[in-house]
Amino acid sequence: MDRSLMFDYLYSEASKLMEEYDPCKIKDGECERGRRIKKGTWRGWAAHENFCCYDCKYLTDNGCSVQALWCKLWVCSPDLEEELPLDFKIKQRDLLEKAKGLLVGRGSKEDSLKYGEAPGGK
Ligand code: SF4
Ligand code: SF4
């Protein structure tokens, strides 16, 4: 499969995974991280009204304007990841493995095809 088709497949699978398990639980303009910070139970990095999309060039008033594969497969905190079922982690790991060479932090599809690198790359 060529890289563009592979990207589309992985983005679709990653979107389904996040819809199914919903780790961020965004509701009324707030995500799980924001709620926990308010409750004082958050151990991660600080809050911002735009969640982890803070200061991203692709963020618009209507949300993310691109297909960002790395963002789709990423959860911001080990705390949240630990709470997700094993099934999620296995599927996430499998997709990350397949996405090697297509992952760019805060990157569009075009960025992935141009600059893609191994998981963990920014
Ligand atoms: S990954 Fe982003 S949207 Fe999801 S809980 Fe963390 S900060 Fe919120
Ligand atoms: S590229 Fe990632 S960080 Fe940027 S707006 Fe889209 S989802 Fe948020």
Q: Where in the chain are the domains?
A: 3-23+52-115
Model's pTM, two decimal places? 0.87
pLDDT at 23 over 90: yes
Short-list 20, 4, 14, CA closest to 97: 14
pLDDT at 93 over 60: yes
Mean pLDDT score of the chain, rounded to an integer?
A: 88
Point out the ligand 1 atom lying closest to the alpha carbon of residue 80. 5
Contact 103, 109 (CB under 8 A): no
Which residue's CA is the closest to the ligand 2 atom numbered 2? 106
Q: Separation of 31 CA from ligand 2 center, angstroms?
A: 14
pLDDT (tens digit per residue) in 52-86: 888 899 999 888 999 999 999 988 887 888 899 99
